[in-house]
Structure 1
Amino acid sequence: MEKYKVVEIFESINGEGRKAGQLAIFVRFQKCNLNCSYCDTRWANSEDSPYISMSADEIYKRILESGITNVTLTGGEPLLQNNIVELLEKLAENQDLKVEIETNGSVNLEKFSRIKNPPSFTMDYKLPSSLMEERMDLENFKYLTEKDTVKFVSGSMEDLEKARYIIEKYSLIGKCGVYISPVFDKIELSEIVEFMKKYKLNGVNFQLQIHKVIWDPESKGV
């Protein structure tokens, strides 16, 4: 049976996105294929990051024991895990679970979107200040549905302009959820709001990472 490299499993609230403020159980996997300038989980991203080896059954059992129905698979980049489809299919069997995958936008989503009862995707589009924009898989916009979300983490006016361009080019409003959030301590929050007002970005959500307000921004397991 395939094993997964899990760096932590914890219960908290969703800090961002459509279920912000709701309880969730988080499964964080090891390893990422990107190296964003503002990354706040580098401790989980390398091949050397400590992890626990867990099977799909073990992860599923831990989720059920939590009594929490919102499940967030995160990383790192969870879609890099060997045979992650097996775990997704296991979770999909339980209609009570609401499974979300946080993915970085560089991994093609086609095969994952074809799973019966697929998870919802919260997909980043990496903007210029991330230094990873050239790694984005633009085909992914074809596979997003109304239950999915695109997130733009913005640290500059250049980032905001690029986010607006992508939103319009791929007609994201109405297709999926659209969120803009700040790079922590890199841009004035009011700048984002004023930008949204200037361009009448109806249907776009401005969000803060709630967990970084409640706890220290460097805290793990929250």
Structure 2
Amino acid sequence: MSAGLKISEMFLSIQGEGKRAGSLSFFIRTNHCNLRCKFSSGNLCDTPYTSWFPDNKDNLGIIPISEIVKAYSVNPPPNVVITGGEPGMYGEKLIDLCNELRKVNPGIHITLETNGTYPGKYLESFDLISISPKLASSVPIDTSHRESHERQRINPDALKQINSLHRLGLVDVQWKFVYTGVSDVGEIKQIQILSGFRNSDVYLMPEGITGNELELKRMETAETAIRHGWNYTDRLHIMIWGNKRGV
């Protein structure tokens, strides 16, 4: 079994987004991300301690896979969500992690939350790939990370692989896009042409890291989703607990 992963936090909560919203889940949040999202609102991503500030003192550090599985085993729910940061950075190690988790609970449902920039065999280890390609609205235009973010945010090979795995029936998918305004629609459709996913697999989610911010964008986001034949998703964990760690 491979060595450990850099982990930010692990916790039990409900899934707040997408088609499995509300489901009791054990979250494994990896540390570090290849992207640095910053939206026109001024908001960074909702977990900046895994991307902008990965050296945050509250991050757990390198945790052996055996210890991650042990933490899950204490009170194992039927769902695990491997999120980040960007878990895809850990590639083959995720295969080992999923295999060990399934030894504890063979019926477990494992979701990968990813920005879709890392192709690889590891993608076949999951039941659901929740892919959130980062649109132009996420580019940190006033920072030193702008060029790197822009260069990496769309990986056609990874996007096509994920769609192919879905078409073959090997994984379930949801394409989850952070909506900031009408200018996002054209780019979402361009990514759809590139990748080949269906309208029924798209979830539009309002950009915001507070309840008030989500409230301001909720209606426009929902109406845009309806207009284009997409699904809408909210962010239940923020609505319930606010934007904090461990939820």
Q: TM-score if structure 1 supplies the norm length?
A: 0.85
- Within 5 A, what are the aligned runs for 1:33-48? 33-37=34-38, 38-45=44-51, 46-48=53-55
Q: Percent identity?
A: 29
Residue 143 of structure 1 is aligned with which of 161, 165, 168?
A: 161
1:51 matched to 2:60? The reply is: yes
Query: What's the counterpart of residue 98 of structure 1?
Result: 109
Which of 67, 73, 83 is the matching residue for 2:82? Answer: 73
Q: Does 1:125 align with 2:149?
A: no
Q: Which amino acid aligns with 2:121?
A: K
Q: What CA distance in whole angstroms lies between the structure 2 residues aligned with 1:44 and 1:154?
A: 22
Is 1:26 the equivalent of 2:27? yes
Q: How much does 1:114 deviate?
A: 4.2
Preserved contact between residue 88 and residue 117 of structure 2 (Cα < 8 Å): no
CA RMSD of aligned residues (A): 2.3
Whether 1:166 aligns to 2:197 is no
Q: Is 1:84 aligned to 2:94, yes or no?
A: yes
Q: Which runs of 5+ in 2 are unaligned?
A: 39-43, 140-148
Which structure shows the bigger proportion of residues in helix conformation?
Answer: 2
- Find the aligned partners of 1:147 and 1:193 in 2 and give their Cα distance: 23
Q: Secondary structure at the match of 2:20?
A: coil
Q: CA deviation at 1:190?
A: 2.1
Mapped to 1, the partners of 2:124 and 2:193 lie a distance apart of: 26
How many corresponding residue pairs? 214
TM-score by length of 2: 0.77
- Quick one: distance in 1 between partners of 2:63 and 2:197? 36
Is the CA contact (8 Å cut-off) linking 2:7 and 2:61 kept in structure 1?
yes
Contact 1:88–1:119, Cα closer than 8 Å, also in 2: no
